[in-house]
C-alpha cells in the first residue's frame, strides 16, 4: 500500500474518527461519504468514537500476512463499539483470556512491523477493559 493511502486515513486510524448521519443518527466507522441507510437523504458529519466496545467474535492468528508475521500468535476480533458500528482490530491480551462478550477499550499501538514502503504503521488496537 502506498504511503499516501495510509496517511490519508490517519485521523480514523489514530483517533477513531468516523462519521455520523444526522438524518438517521447512525454512526459509521470507518468514515463514509454517503449514509448507507439514507443514501441521498443522509447528512454526514465527523464523529469521534469513545473507543469502548465488546467482542462479537475472535480468532487467534497463527499464520499471518507480511508485516504481521512477527506478532504471531495474536488475537484478532470483531468489536461492536458502544456507538453501534463494528470494526476489525487486534486485541492485546493473552490468547487464553479472550472471550465473546468481553469488554474492551481502544489503545494506540504499532500495527504492522513493516508496512507500506517500509514505513511502520501505527493505529488502534484494543485491550481488555479493566
Partner 1 sequence: MREVAIIGVGCTNFGEMWNRSFRDIFVEAGLSALEDASVEGEEIDALFVGNMSAGKFIDQEHIGSLIADYAGLASLHVPAVRLGAACASGGVALSQGVLAVASGYYDIVVAGGAEKMTDVGTGGAIDALASAADREWEVLMGATFPGLYAMIARLHMHKYGTTREQLAMVAVKNHLNATMNPKAQYRGEISIDEVMSSSLVADPLRILDCSPITDGAAAVVLAPAEIAKKYTESPVYVKASAQATDTISLHDRRDITTLDATVYAAKKAYKIASIRPIDIDLAEVHDCFTIGEICAIEDLGFVPKGNGGPATEDGLTALDGKIPVNPSGGLKACGHPVGATGIKQAVETVLQLRGEAGKRQVSGAEVGLTHNVGGTGGTAVVHILSINR
Contacts with Zn ion, residue ranges (CB under 5 A): 21, 23-24, 35, 37-38, 42
Smallest separation (angstroms) from Zn ion to the CB of 85:
12
Residue 49: name its binding partner from Zn ion, partner 1, none (Cβ under 5 to 8 Å by kind): none
Q: Rule CB under 8 A: choose which of 3, 10, 41, 100 binds partner 1.
A: 100
> Is the CB of 18 or the CB of 115 nearer to Zn ion?
18
SS3 105: strand
Smallest separation (angstroms) from partner 1 to the CB of 62:
4
Measured CA distances, 74 to 8, 43, 84, 128 (Å): 27, 38, 25, 14
Stretch that binds partner 1, among 19-27, 37-45, 46-54, 58-66 (CB under 8 A): 58-66
Q: Rule CB under 8 A: choose which of 24, 52, 60, 107 binds partner 1.
A: 60
> Is the CB of 19 or the CB of 90 nearer to partner 1?
90
Residue 105 near residue 127 (C-beta atoms within 8 A): yes
State the SS3 of 17-77. Answer: EEEEECCCCCEECCCCCCECCCECCCCEEEEECCCEEEEEEEEEECCCCCCCHHHCCEEEE
CA distance 33 to 37: 12
CA distance 73 to 89: 14
**Can you give the binding site for partner 1, defined by CB under 8 A?**
1, 5-6, 9, 30, 56-66, 68, 71, 73-74, 76-78, 85-90, 95, 100, 111-112, 115, 121, 123
Amino acid at each position: 500500500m502506498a504511503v499516501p493511502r495510509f496517511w490519508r486515513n490517519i485521523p480514523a486510524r489514530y483517533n477513531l474518527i468516523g462519521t455520523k448521519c444526522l438524518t438517521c443518527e447512525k454512526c459509521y466507522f470507518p468514515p463514509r461519504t454517503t449514509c448507507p441507510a439514507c443514501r441521498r437523504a443522509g447528512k454526514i458529519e465527523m464523529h469521534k468514537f469513545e473507543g469502548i466496545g465488546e467482542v462479537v467474535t475472535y480468532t487467534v492468528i497463527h499464520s499471518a500476512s507480511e508485516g504481521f508475521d512477527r506478532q504471531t500468535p495474536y488475537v484478532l476480533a470483531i468489536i461492536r463499539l458502544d456507538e453501534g458500528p463494528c470494526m476489525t482490530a487486534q486485541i492485546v491480551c493473552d490468547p487464553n483470556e479472550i472471550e465473546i462478550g468481553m469488554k474492551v477499550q481502544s489503545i494506540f499501538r504499532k500495527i504492522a512491523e513493516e508496512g507500506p514502503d517500509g514505513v511502520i504503521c501505527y493505529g488502534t488496537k484494543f485491550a481488555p477493559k479493566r
